[in-house]
Structure 1
Amino acid sequence: MLNRKSTFVLFGLFLMATSIFGQDVFISNTENRNFTSLNGKWKFVLDPFQTGGMGGMPVYKNYQPKDKSDRVEYGFDNGKNLWVPGSWNIQYPELTYFEGNVWYRKTFDKPDRTEGKRYFVHIGAANYKTTVSFNGEILGHHEGGFTPFSFEVTDLLKEKDNFLIVGVDNARAADNIPSKVSDWFNHGGITRDVKLIEVPSTFINNYFLSLDKSTLKQRSKTIQGKLELVGENRPKTARILIPELKLNQEFEVNADGPTEFSINTKGLELWSPKNPKLYEVTLVAGNDTIGDQIGFRTIEAIGKQIVLNGEPIFLKGICLHDENPLRKDRANSIEDAELVLGWAQELGCNFLRLAHYPHQEKIVRLADKLGILLWEELPLYWGIQWDNPEVLEKAKKQYAEMINRDYNRASTIIWSIANETASIPDRNAFLGELADYIRSMDDTRLLSAAIKKDQELDGHPDSVYTYNDPLIEKLDIISLNEYLGWYGGAPEETRGKSFEFGFEKPVIVSEFGGGALQGYYADKQTRWSEEFQEHLYKESLAMFDKIDGLSGMAPWILVDFMSPLRQLPDVQDGWNRKGLISEKGQKKKAFFVLQDYYKKK
């Protein structure tokens, strides 16, 4: 039998048959660039042994029989289709729990092409390890199931019959992020948009704009900027335009590396949940022009308060997975985002915890428009190999991809670096270095992590819960998950609990709650009933209200979500039932408890 190590050896032999054509190039704001969508039906070949080839032939070469005697032992042409974007698990019953390799193929003719343009294949996300090839050449590889990546195809693009073949492997492994066990569905495949992006020979691949908080109280506020370019012939100057502010400013471009600049503005309206003001911003460098819609705000932790634009704010939140429960698929469209953000607004939220991995870019951009604050994170979760330096490098790379994608989104105010991880030396060193790395990339946001109480190993014996995790030194916010009344104890026990922290920082309750099957009614002592969940919410909210420095909360979770860990027949059936809304879109009684609580905040 082939083990996982031997399959990678075999796969590596196929990769040696051709050179890797290019390196991954980060390209931000793909929605506002010239592109051809490659979404739709793709042919696929199943690769359950993860060999990368059939009959000794690499799949990415797209072999076709030359004549009737030629031997080819696989084929895309007469095979089945998979929709992209989308997880393969929900498209065929036999793939429901499939974990392994699937090779996708998309064929297309070259779009109308302007001389001097460059072309990149951009994939919004593919879970988890991806090999990208084009017209028989390996472009490169990407690891991480939730962040975007691009490879150049300019010199390989043909007039007719181009074929893009993408191999995706969603097999769980101990050195992955997340590791082998997670409490959500392992959706495999190309789960977000695929585009062929057209840019000039030298182009703006990314830019970073933020409000200088030192000028917050001044009439003339300063916007800090950084511009990144890809290409050999850099222009000497670039320009930023914000017409509504009557701003049109030129600045010099560095000959090498990124270019930093600052601009003074008058009459700048600040972005907030009550006023989600976005400005049309245009950047011009040489032959490239890119537009975006950007809001400007500041976020700080001062004492025990979270302060937005100089004013304290209470985060009325809820947790969310990146899933459309009605379709039972990974979310990938603006309609998916509108569905869940509509529910969150109805609940009274001004804040969402996007758990436990980067969600689709469309929900972040929609949050900008609607004025919903966001917590974003990587799945640094159960079982991470804290002592493995390669895993740390993976975490840095994936965090860089998320920050590069969402830096310009005013809605994102918190980067979180871990969830429910025990304080041990290797973990503390790993997350401490990651925290420093994130701050080096982005010092405009707050850092947090969902930490454990000191008594975690003892259950819930003490009336006072204490929190002294040394990781808190690196964080701006103390965040805690507390499930008293669900995982141990009864809801009534919350009345005797209180909280103490060894740090003077604001506190967010990043998770609490319990499960209920929508439509199952009983008394408040009967587990899985709507009444039990309703009672648990009432008791928990009263407990958390006693926390000194409470600055927000994000109960677990807005809507029921798929999880193979949850298999109680006739109750869970593969769903985590802690949602306030069922997978059919029906609200449970606890929804209205939290809604009423937020109305009073």
Structure 2
Amino acid sequence: MKQLVALILLLVSVNVLGTDNLLQNTYLRSGFTLNGKWNYIVDVYETGYYNYRWEPHDGSTNPGAGAFFLNEKPKSKKDLIEYDFDKAPTLLVPGDWNSQKEKLFYYEGTLWYKKSFDIPEFDEGKRYYIHFGAVNYRADVYVNGKKLGMHKGGFTPFNFEMTGLVKAKGNFVVVRVDNKRAADEVPTLNTDWWNYGGITRDVMVYALSKTFIEDYSLQLDKENKKLLNGYVQLNGESKANTRVSLNIPELKLNKEYFTDEMGRVNFTVPVKKLSLWSDSNPKLYQVRFSAGDDEIQDKIGFRQIATRGADILLNDEVVFLKGICIHEENAMRGGRAYSMEDAKMLLGWAKELGCNFVRLAHYPHNENMVRLADEMGLLVWSENPVYWTIQWENPETYKKAAQQLSELITRDKNRASVIIWSMANETPQSDARFTFLSNLAEKARSLDNTRLISAALEVHSTVPGGNTMVIGDKFADVVDILSFNQYYGWYWGDVENIKNIRWEIDMDKPVVISEFGAGALQGYHADSLTVWSEEFQDLLYKETLPVLYRIPQISGIAPWILADFRSPRRVLIPYQDGWNRKGLISETGNRKKAFYTLQKFYSEIEE
């Protein structure tokens, strides 16, 4: 009877654990890593998840020996178990499987990961969480044979509590990862980047207090530079009427508050002599929150971002966004970027170009990028992966998009560098799409009203083949910054006619060119009208940049793209060979001619 009660309690706890909110600032929390070598099993037929009747093993109260998440071993020579993680090969986590194993280069499907771990200084009085920076795309997570939960979304963090399931020694975590594309997912079937599968970001374990700081925010007031607004949200049985402390040593600021019955406290703090964060002064303050025996520290910059007519204002001063688009890929390694070293390389290249702004496309990038951008003084456009055409009328698809947007904002709301939340990229117009994106924008503003909303829209000529371009998109009324992608001279139009192009924009909003560019194979040289040559790409930049800069409302430019990146859409040999070649830097790290043209253009723009 006792065993039955224990089993029931365990099942109930697992059901509850799968609903936990996202932990804030795991980046600077004390924990221990599960990064490193994980055993893996490729499961093309999903044998480890479904039985032969196509019923999920984890939906059964008595899963069979074929359930991979049980990590079972034969108990006698008569036992038949047709898998063994401990004899399986290994993959490095974080990392994608495509670039690590040649046989998995094009693989899209299910792959199981397993990692054994002990918990140092195990304490039964602590609450234990496992946190994933990102897994692409679906992750089913099991600890010691019990399911913690499932997460969808390949670029946002998630966590599950595993208190009561783990012990000091002999634990194991099994993760079923499925990166198959599907029509009702976000992003959908068709993209122009590589669908890297795997546990692509850090995996951490955290031992937290019975009541701990789950979430917090601290930002400069939108209107008043002498006020900080914030909140703290506690998690735990003792979250109500608990003392919460805020400390910023450099400002000699010490405040105490008490939470309400839901464990939350909202506050406004007056400050004096605040050094504001900007692209030229990336000032960060050490901030400490404490509640009970839980303490968390962060480095936060304080700044205001707003628009006034066609200007973008950073701390009430007009700023021009000298930008570049970036994919989360280490081109020189040919795989998903994940480390601080990767971030330093990519953002270092952007700085070398003379950028003060980066568009992190087309999905949320890893936290290293925005943390480093805070330190380097780079302004950031952060994007939800609503890309091209998705199922606009499907409420489940909207839920997935809204979930990923929420997870992105939750993670990065305290990063001063992030100034723009982007809702989508190059989406075709329809009433359903307008409603979908408008609802996303409303959700973003409800979660964080201190940043600007945008989306990468498309432009059209007033007549076929004409020289006058317009933005006929209702969603332009919703955004704060009017952004659009334009590829005149590459996908349409004659590069020699770029100088005659003009834009008719009748909205008094800042305009940011979110993409333009042309492909070039680094090292291929020809005359300037030969496509795929460095000279053609360079000519397009030389013709396009001054024309864009003459747009009356222009407030920023972000060409496509910093570095070449892999894409299965790009099949032309020898010029593409599986790479999108619009990068200004090749996969070997060499600068193309257009790199220096853009660098020179940015150097001549007055600050």
Relative to the length of structure 2, the TM-score reads 0.94
Counterparts of 2:194 and 2:187, CA distance in 1: 12
Counterpart residue number, 1:42: 38
2:403 corresponds to 1:408: no
Q: Do 1:54 and 1:73's aligned partners in 2 also have CA atoms closer than 8 Å?
A: no
Counterpart residue number, 1:31: 27
Structure 1 residues 320 and 342: CA distance shift in structure 2, 3 A: same
Counterpart residue number, 1:311: 317
SS in 2 for 1:49: coil
Q: Do 2:461 and 2:468's aligned partners in 1 also have CA atoms closer than 8 Å?
A: no
Deviation at 1:39, TM superposition (A): 0.2
Of 279, 284, 287 in structure 2, the residue corresponding to residue 281 of structure 1 is 287
SS in 1 for 2:31: strand
Counterparts of 1:132 and 1:434, CA distance in 2: 28
Counterparts of 2:429 and 2:93, CA distance in 1: 40
Equivalent pairs counted in the alignment come to: 580
SS in 2 for 1:154: coil
Alignment-mate amino acid for residue 172 of structure 1: R
Residues 41-99 of structure 1: CA deviation (Å, up to 9, x unaligned)? 00011111234157852111111111111000111011110110000111111100101
Counterparts of 2:13 and 2:126, CA distance in 1: 26
2:376 corresponds to 1:380: no
Which stretch shows the higher mean deviation, 136-145 or 226-235? 226-235
Alignment-mate amino acid for residue 114 of structure 1: D
Q: Do 1:174 and 1:383's aligned partners in 2 also have CA atoms closer than 8 Å?
A: no
Counterparts of 2:121 and 2:12, CA distance in 1: 32
Counterparts of 1:278 and 1:206, CA distance in 2: 20
Of 127, 130, 135 in structure 2, the residue corresponding to residue 121 of structure 1 is 130
Q: Which residues in structure 2 correspond to 1:131-142 (within 5 Å)?
A: 131-142=140-151
Q: Which residues in structure 2 correspond to 1:190-269 (within 5 Å)?
A: 190-216=199-225, 221-234=226-239, 235-256=241-262, 258-269=264-275
Counterparts of 1:110 and 1:541, CA distance in 2: 56
SS in 1 for 2:128: strand
Counterparts of 1:214 and 1:445, CA distance in 2: 13
Counterpart residue number, 2:479: 475
SS in 1 for 2:266: strand
Counterpart residue number, 2:493: 489
Counterpart residue number, 1:465: 469
Counterparts of 2:207 and 2:189, CA distance in 1: 38
Counterpart residue number, 2:542: 538
Counterpart residue number, 1:453: 459
Counterparts of 1:106 and 1:526, CA distance in 2: 52
Counterparts of 2:335 and 2:22, CA distance in 1: 26
Structure 1 residues 110 and 54: CA distance shift in structure 2, 3 A: farther
Counterpart residue number, 2:440: 434
Q: Do 2:389 and 2:428's aligned partners in 1 also have CA atoms closer than 8 Å?
A: no
Structure 1 residues 552 and 597: CA distance shift in structure 2, 3 A: same
Counterparts of 1:121 and 1:283, CA distance in 2: 22
Deviation at 1:252, TM superposition (A): 2.0
Counterpart residue number, 2:57: none
Q: Do 1:467 and 1:502's aligned partners in 2 also have CA atoms closer than 8 Å?
A: no
Residues 314-346 of structure 1: CA deviation (Å, up to 9, x unaligned)? 000000000111111111110000001111000
Query: RMSD between aligned alpha carbons?
Result: 1.5
2:377 corresponds to 1:365: no
Q: Do 2:235 and 2:263's aligned partners in 1 also have CA atoms closer than 8 Å?
A: no
Counterparts of 1:229 and 1:321, CA distance in 2: 35
2:528 corresponds to 1:524: yes
Deviation at 1:18, TM superposition (A): 12
Counterparts of 1:548 and 1:44, CA distance in 2: 56
Of 572, 576, 600 in structure 2, the residue corresponding to residue 572 of structure 1 is 576
Counterpart residue number, 2:106: 97
Deviation at 1:499, TM superposition (A): 0.5
- Structure 2's unaligned 5+ residue stretches are 1-10, 53-63
Of 271, 277, 283 in structure 2, the residue corresponding to residue 271 of structure 1 is 277
Structure 1 residues 528 and 391: CA distance shift in structure 2, 3 A: same
Deviation at 1:365, TM superposition (A): 0.1
Deviation at 1:493, TM superposition (A): 1.3
Residues 271-290 of structure 1: CA deviation (Å, up to 9, x unaligned)? 00100000000001111100
Structure 1 residues 288 and 547: CA distance shift in structure 2, 3 A: same
Counterpart residue number, 2:190: 181
Which stretch shows the higher mean deviation, 462-471 or 291-300? 462-471
SS in 2 for 1:289: strand
Q: Do 1:454 and 1:469's aligned partners in 2 also have CA atoms closer than 8 Å?
A: no
Which stretch shows the higher mean deviation, 40-49 or 19-28? 19-28
Counterpart residue number, 1:144: 153
Counterparts of 2:288 and 2:145, CA distance in 1: 38
Deviation at 1:19, TM superposition (A): 6.2
Q: Do 2:122 and 2:167's aligned partners in 1 also have CA atoms closer than 8 Å?
A: no
Q: Do 1:294 and 1:409's aligned partners in 2 also have CA atoms closer than 8 Å?
A: yes
Deviation at 1:21, TM superposition (A): 5.9
SS in 1 for 2:416: coil
Counterpart residue number, 2:59: none
SS in 1 for 2:164: helix
Deviation at 1:455, TM superposition (A): 3.9
Alignment-mate amino acid for residue 562 of structure 1: R
Alignment-mate amino acid for residue 203 of structure 1: F
Counterparts of 2:242 and 2:68, CA distance in 1: 45
Deviation at 1:210, TM superposition (A): 0.8
Alignment-mate amino acid for residue 225 of structure 1: G
Of 167, 181, 195 in structure 1, the residue corresponding to residue 176 of structure 2 is 167
Deviation at 1:383, TM superposition (A): 2.0
- Structure 1's unaligned 5+ residue stretches are 1-15
Residues 417-457 of structure 1: CA deviation (Å, up to 9, x unaligned)? 0111122100001111111111000100000011112449x
Counterparts of 1:21 and 1:251, CA distance in 2: 29
Residues 103-151 of structure 1: CA deviation (Å, up to 9, x unaligned)? 1000011221235211100000000011000000000000000000000
Q: Do 1:34 and 1:199's aligned partners in 2 also have CA atoms closer than 8 Å?
A: no
Counterparts of 1:50 and 1:176, CA distance in 2: 19
Of 537, 549, 554 in structure 2, the residue corresponding to residue 550 of structure 1 is 554
